[in-house]
C-alpha cells in the first residue's frame, strides 16, 4: 500500500491496450473482430470478479445484466434516438439499478442458494422480455442502418465501437484494481472470508454486498449496449445465453478469482481455447464439455487459478502480479 | 456505567439459554464471566455484542440501546470481541485482518490512516514476524492473538474476550494475561469468559457466575468462590474452590 506507481496495474493495462492497438496498426477488420470478442470477454470476466472474486458470491446468471442493459440501451438508441454514449450510460444505469433491487432481495441468501436464485433470474428476465412488446417480444429489435451515418458510416461506426469497448474495458480493469486496494474492497474480502465475523468487526455487509453487486452489474450492461449496437439487432436468445454466464465463471476461475490480472488472463486464455475448439473438427460440437472439464480441473487442483498459483509460488512477484 | 444488561432472557426453541440476567458494569473494570459448559456465557456475549437480539430485556452500551440495530453497529459504537472458536479471515494476511478491525471499528480509519495503528497492534500481540503471512497459516496460539489484535485495532471502549486462554500453554497464558492487564491500563473495560479458573480469578475485579442461563453469583473473586450456591451448583467440589483461591 506504500507503493505509488502501481506496477500491477500497468502490467494489465499494457496487456489490454497493447493487444487492442494491433488491429489499428495493421488495419485488419477480421483481427479487429477477434480482439473485440476478446475485449468483451475481459470486460465481462473482470466485472464478474468484483462479485465472485472479491465478495465470494457465485452468480450463475450474470449475463442477465449484459442482456438487460443491452436491451435498454438498444431501445434508447433505436426507438428514442439517443446518442450511443448516452445509451451506453443508460444501459449501465439500468443494469446497476436492476442489480440494486435484486441485491436487496437475494444477497441475504448464501452459497448455493444465491447461485440458484441468479440462475432463475436470468430465465425469468428472458421470459419477461419475450412477452414485452415494447422490446420487440420474441423477435427482438433491429437498428435502422441509417443510424450508423451519425457515427461516420457503418465502417467508421465499427471502429468507434471498438475504441469505446477498449475504453470501457480499461475502466473496468482500473476500477477493479482500485476496489481491491480500497477500504470498500477490504470490507468485501472480509465478507467473503467470514460474513458473520466481518459484521462483528463493523463491516456493514448487506450494504457492501449490494454495492459490489451493482458495480459488477453496471459494466456488463454498458458492454451489452456496445455489443448489440455493433450487431445491429437484439433478440432474447442472444441477450440471455445462460452458457455465457458459466463461461464467465470459468474465465474468472481459470485466471484466478479475487486477483485483478487473473480474470484478464483467464478471459484471454479461455476465448483463445474456445476459438480453437470451435474450429477444430473433433471438438467443435463439444466445446462446452471442455469448458466443464476445465472448471472441474481448476476447482480440484488449482482453486486459486493461474495468477493465484503464481502468487503463492513466487512471493517476489506479488507486487507485480495482482 | 459502560454496559447495562437489563433483565435479559434468550430462548432457543424451548431451551431457556438466558433467564433474566441483570448486571451493570462500570468503566475500567475486568469482569470475569464463568459457569459450566452450556451455562449461556457465549450466548450472553452474542446478545451483548448484538449478534442476537434478546427475547426480553435490553442491553445499554454507553447509554444506547442496541436491541434491533444491525450487528455492525456494536463495533462502530466502540465494542469489540474475540471468538471462542477463532474466526480468522483465512485468505487475507495478518496485516489485512487487523486492518479490517481498524478500518471498520470505532474510529473507522482509512487504509492509510490505519497503517501505523495496525503495525503497533501487531507488534503488541507479538505477531510481527507473521505480518505478511496468510491468517490460515498461523497456529492456534497465533490465531488467538490475531483475534485479540483485530479487536484491539478497532480501539474499543469495551472488549469482550471469549476464552482467549483456551488451548494456550502456561507461558502463553502468562503472556496473554499481561497483555490483558495492559489493555485495561489503557482504559478499556473488559468482559472475559474463561475456564482457566486460576487465571480468571487472578485477573478479574469482579466475577459473574452463570448456570443454566441463571445468574447465580456476582461479586469479587473471593466472595464468589466462597458463595455456597456457586460451590454447590458450579464447582461441586471444595478442592476446586481452594484451587480457585490459590496463589
Tell me the per-residue pLDDT of A41-67, one tens digit each, with 9 for 90 and over.
Answer: 999 999 999 999 999 999 999 999 999
Tell me the three cell numbers of residue A242. 445462460
- Residue B167 Cα, gap to closest chain A Cα (Å): 21
Q: Are residues B230 and B146 in the same domain?
A: no
Residue A2 has pLDDT above 70, yes or no: no
A1/B75 touch (CB, cutoff 8 Å), yes or no: no
Q: Give the chain B residue whose CA is nearest to the CA of A312.
A: B134
Q: Give the chain B residue whose CA is nearest to the CA of A205.
A: B72
Q: Are residues B51 and B101 in the same domain?
A: no
Tell me the chain A residues in contact with residue B113 when contact means C-beta distances shorter than 8 Å. Answer: none
> Is B176 inside a domain boundary?
no
Q: How far apart are CA B106 and CA B240, in angstroms?
A: 40
> Is B173 inside a domain boundary?
no
Q: Are residues B68 and B103 in the same domain?
A: no
- Residue A198 Cα, gap to closest chain B Cα (Å): 8
Residue of A1, A200, A205 with shortest CB distance to B49: A200
Mean pLDDT, residues A252-275: 94
| Last residue within a domain, chosen from B156, B176, B197 | B156
pTM of the model: 0.92
Residue A208 has pLDDT above 50, yes or no: yes
pLDDT at B247: 45
> Is B53 inside a domain boundary?
yes
Residue A152 has pLDDT above 60, yes or no: yes
B80/A183 touch (CB, cutoff 8 Å), yes or no: no
Give the start-to-end residue ranges of the domains of chain A: 9-242
Q: Are residues B53 and B4 in the same domain?
A: yes
Query: What ipTM was predicted for this assembly?
Result: 0.90
What is the per-residue DSSP string for B110-127? -HHHHHHHHHHHHHHHT-
Q: Are residues B97 and B201 in the same domain?
A: no
pLDDT at B244: 61
| Last residue within a domain, chosen from B156, B176, B211 | B156
Does A199 lie at the interface with B, CB-CB under 8 angstroms? yes
For residue A233, name the pLDDT band (cuts at 50, 70, 90): very high
Mean pLDDT, residues A172-176: 96
For residue A4, name the pLDDT band (cuts at 50, 70, 90): low
Over the stretch A244-259, which tens digit does the pLDDT of each residue have? 999 999 999 999 999 9
pLDDT at A111: 82
A189/B90 touch (CB, cutoff 8 Å), yes or no: no
| Strands (E) located in chain B | 3-12, 15-25, 30-34, 56-61, 64-65, 79-81, 158-162, 189-193, 206-211, 214-219
Residue A3 has pLDDT above 70, yes or no: no
Residue A298 has pLDDT above 80, yes or no: yes
DSSP H helices, chain A, are 7-26, 29-49, 63-78, 84-106, 112-130, 153-180, 183-193, 195-200, 205-231, 236-239, 242-255, 261-279, 287-301, 305-313
> Is B181 inside a domain boundary?
no
Tell me the chain A residues in contact with residue B93 when contact means C-beta distances shorter than 8 Å. Answer: none
pLDDT at A319: 72
Q: Are residues B46 and B91 in the same domain?
A: no
Q: How far apart are CA A245 and CA A118, in angstroms?
A: 10
Range of the domain at B40: 1-78+157-165+187-247
Residue A312 has pLDDT above 80, yes or no: yes
pLDDT at B235: 58
Residue of B51, B80, B110 with shortest CB distance to A183: B110
A200/B70 touch (CB, cutoff 8 Å), yes or no: no
CA torsion through residues A223, A227, A230, A233, sign: negative
Does A155 lie at the interface with B, CB-CB under 8 angstroms? no
Q: Are residues B12 and B50 in the same domain?
A: yes
Q: Are residues B51 and B161 in the same domain?
A: yes
List, run by run, the mean pLDDT of 10-residue segments along chain B (247 residues). 92 90 93 88 92 92 90 94 94 95 93 94 95 92 94 96 90 92 94 89 92 90 85 64 58
Cβ pair A233, A143 in contact under 8 A: yes
Cβ pair A223, A63 in contact under 8 A: no
Q: How far apart are CA A171 and CA A175, in angstroms?
A: 6
Residues in Cβ contact with B185 at an 8 Å cutoff, skipping those fewer than 6 apart: none
B103/A183 touch (CB, cutoff 8 Å), yes or no: yes
Residue A117 has pLDDT above 90, yes or no: yes
Mean pLDDT, residues A147-156: 89
Tell me the chain B residues in contact with residue A200 when contact means C-beta distances shorter than 8 Å. Answer: 49, 51, 71-72, 74-75, 81, 83
CATH label of the domain that carries residue B193: 3.40.50.300
> Is B128 inside a domain boundary?
yes
Looking at the structure of chain B, the number of domains it has is 2
Q: Give the chain A residue whose CA is nearest to the CA of B86.
A: A197
Q: Which helix (H) or strand (E) holds A141?
A: strand A141-142
B111/A183 touch (CB, cutoff 8 Å), yes or no: yes
For residue A1, name the pLDDT band (cuts at 50, 70, 90): very low
CA torsion through residues A236, A239, A241, A245, sign: negative
Q: Are residues B161 and B235 in the same domain?
A: yes
How distant, in Å, are the alpha carbons of A173, A303, B137 from that of A250? Answer: 18, 11, 28
| Last residue within a domain, chosen from B136, B156, B176 | B156
> Is B94 inside a domain boundary?
yes
A201/B105 touch (CB, cutoff 8 Å), yes or no: yes
- Residue B183 Cα, gap to closest chain A Cα (Å): 18
pLDDT at A311: 86
Q: Give the chain A residue whose CA is nearest to the CA of B107.
A: A202
pLDDT at A281: 86
Q: Are residues B161 and B244 in the same domain?
A: yes
Q: Are residues B28 and B66 in the same domain?
A: yes
> Is B43 inside a domain boundary?
yes
A204/B81 touch (CB, cutoff 8 Å), yes or no: no
Q: Are residues B39 and B65 in the same domain?
A: yes
Residue of B70, B89, B111 with shortest CB distance to A197: B89
Does A205 lie at the interface with B, CB-CB under 8 angstroms? yes
pLDDT at B246: 55
Does A85 lie at the interface with B, CB-CB under 8 angstroms? no
> Is B182 inside a domain boundary?
no
Amino acid at each position: 500500500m506504500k507503493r505509488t506507481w502501481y506496477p500491477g496495474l500497468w502490467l494489465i493495462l499494457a496487456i489490454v491496450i497493447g493487444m487492442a492497438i494491433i488491429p489499428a496498426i495493421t488495419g485488419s477488420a477480421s483481427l479487429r473482430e477477434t480482439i473485440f470478442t476478446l475485449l468483451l470477454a475481459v470486460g465481462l470476466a473482470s466485472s464478474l470478479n468484483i462479485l465472485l472474486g472479491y465478495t465470494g458470491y457465485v452468480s450463475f446468471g450474470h449475463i442477465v445484466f449484459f442482456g438487460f442493459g443491452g436491451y435498454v440501451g438498444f431501445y434508447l438508441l433505436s426507438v428514442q434516438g439517443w446518442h450511443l454514449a448516452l445509451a451506453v450510460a443508460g444501459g449501465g444505469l439500468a443494469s446497476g439499478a436492476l442489480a440494486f433491487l435484486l441485491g436487496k432481495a437475494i444477497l441475504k441468501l448464501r452459497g448455493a442458494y444465491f447461485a440458484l436464485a441468479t440462475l432463475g433470474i436470468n430465465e425469468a428476465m428472458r421470459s419477461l422480455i419475450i412477452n414485452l412488446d415494447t422490446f420487440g417480444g420474441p423477435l427482438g429489435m433491429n437498428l435502422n442502418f441509417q443510424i450508423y451515418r451519425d457515427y461516420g458510416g457503418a465502417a467508421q461506426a465499427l471502429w468507434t465501437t471498438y475504441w469505446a469497448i477498449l475504453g470501457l474495458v480499461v475502466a473496468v480493469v482500473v476500477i477493479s484494481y482500485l476496489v481491491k486496494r480500497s477500504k470498500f474492497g477490504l470490507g468485501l474480502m472480509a465478507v467473503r472470508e467470514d460474513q458473520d465475523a466481518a459484521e462483528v468487526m463493523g463491516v456493514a455487509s448487506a450494504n457492501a454486498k449490494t454495492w459490489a453487486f451493482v458495480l459488477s452489474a453496471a459494466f456488463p450492461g454498458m458492454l451489452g449496449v456496445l455489443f448489440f449496437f455493433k450487431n445491429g439487432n437484439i433478440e432474447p436468445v442472444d441477450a440471455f445465453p445462460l452458457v455465457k454466464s458459466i463461461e464467465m465463471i470459468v474465465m474468472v476461475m481459470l485466471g484466478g478469482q479475487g486477483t485483478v490480472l487473473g480474470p484478464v488472463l483467464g478471459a484471454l486464455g479461455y476465448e483463445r481455447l474456445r476459438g480453437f475448439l470451435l474450429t477444430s473438427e473433433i471438438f467443435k460440437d463439444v466445446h462446452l464439455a471442455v469448458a466443464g472439464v476445465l472448471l472441474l480441473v481448476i476447482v480440484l487442483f488449482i482453486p486459486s487459478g493461474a495468477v493465484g498459483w503464481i502468487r503463492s509460488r513466487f512471493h517476489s512477484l506479488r507486487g507485480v502480479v495482482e | 456505567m459502560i454496559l447495562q444488561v437489563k433483565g435479559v432472557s434468550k430462548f432457543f426453541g424451548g431451551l431457556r439459554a438466558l433467564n433474566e440476567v441483570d448486571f451493570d458494569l462500570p468503566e475500567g473494570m475486568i469482569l470475569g464471566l464463568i459457569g459450566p459448559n452450556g451455562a449461556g456465557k457465549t450466548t450472553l456475549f452474542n446478545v451483548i455484542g448484538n449478534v442476537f437480539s434478546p427475547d426480553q430485556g435490553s442491553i445499554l452500551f454507553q447509554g444506547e440501546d442496541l436491541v434491533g440495530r444491525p450487528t455492525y453497529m456494536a463495533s462502530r459504537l466502540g465494542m469489540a470481541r474475540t471468538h471462542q472458536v477463532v474466526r480468522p479471515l483465512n485468505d487475507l494476511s495478518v496485516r489485512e485482518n487487523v486492518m479490517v478491525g481498524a478500518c471498520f471499528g470505532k474510529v473507522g480509519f482509512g487504509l492509510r490512516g490505519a497503517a501505523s495503528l495496525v503495525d503497533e497492534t501487531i507488534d503488541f500481540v507479538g505477531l510481527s514476524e507473521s505480518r505478511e503471512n496468510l491468517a490460515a497459516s498461523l497456529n492456534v496460539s497465533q490465531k488467538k492473538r490475531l483475534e485479540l489484535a483485530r479487536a484491539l485495532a478497532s480501539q474499543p471502549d469495551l472488549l469482550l474476550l471469549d476464552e482467549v486462554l483456551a488451548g494456550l500453554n502456561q507461558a502463553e497464558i502468562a503472556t496473554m494475561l499481561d497483555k490483558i492487564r495492559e489493555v485495561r491500563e489503557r482504559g478499556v473495560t473488559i468482559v472475559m469468559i474463561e475456564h482457566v479458573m486460576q487465571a480468571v480469578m487472578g485477573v478479574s475485579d469482579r466475577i459473574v457466575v452463570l448456570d443454566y442461563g441463571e445468574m447465580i453469583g456476582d461479586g469479587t473473586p473471593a466472595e464468589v468462590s466462597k458463595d455456597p450456591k456457586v460451590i454447590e451448583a458450579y464447582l461441586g467440589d471444595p478442592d476446586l474452590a481452594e484451587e480457585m483461591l490459590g496463589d
